[in-house]
Amino acid sequence: MGLSIILIVLGLVGIFVLALPSVILVLAGIFIYSYITNFTVISIQLIIIFSILTIITMFFDYLTTIVIAKKYNISNKNIAGMLLSGLIGFLVLNVVGLVIGQAIGIVVFELLSGEDWIKSIKKGGLSFLGFVLTVIIKVFVVCLMVGIFAYKVIF
């Protein structure tokens, strides 16, 4: 039971911390609890539904990043720079720093690659919007899964 709670909490934190696979951690926590209780509280069918939601969420997260990067010609090097600046921002200002750091990082790395100001700022803004969109989807899916889990466990 303790491991389940730890994984679910890490999953909640992982919504904002890119290094943690949020939805997967929540699913793992719920699965472990279900397994320990012989699937009497959380059914196998519900685990399958949660697994499908997890796969769709991961696919959307990946697809959003790829579409934005390819549509606006953001190189892998600049995406790596964006992630690094997001991590530094997170260490300095937590979640707000992560979001701001990523947007600033993409602008700076695009400028260093020879892109003009307008295009760099546009790419930074679009990467920010993509990040926000994926966070909203992850929040929705994780809250749905945790809410159903909590309801089933409590009632």
Total count of domains within the chain: 1
pLDDT tens by residue, 106-137: 889 889 988 889 988 988 888 888 888 888 99
Residue with tokens 């389940």: 4
Domain residues for 59? Answer: 2-154
Question: pTM of the prediction?
Answer: 0.77
Mean pLDDT value of segment 48-63: 92
CA nearest neighbour of 72 among 107, 21, 96, 97: 107
Q: Is the pLDDT of residue 54 over 80?
A: yes
Q: Is the pLDDT of residue 42 over 90?
A: yes
Distance CA 78, CA 75 (A): 5
Identify the pLDDT of residue 143.
95
Share of the chain above pLDDT 70, in %: 99
- Cα dihedral 73/20/83/80 (nearest 10): -60
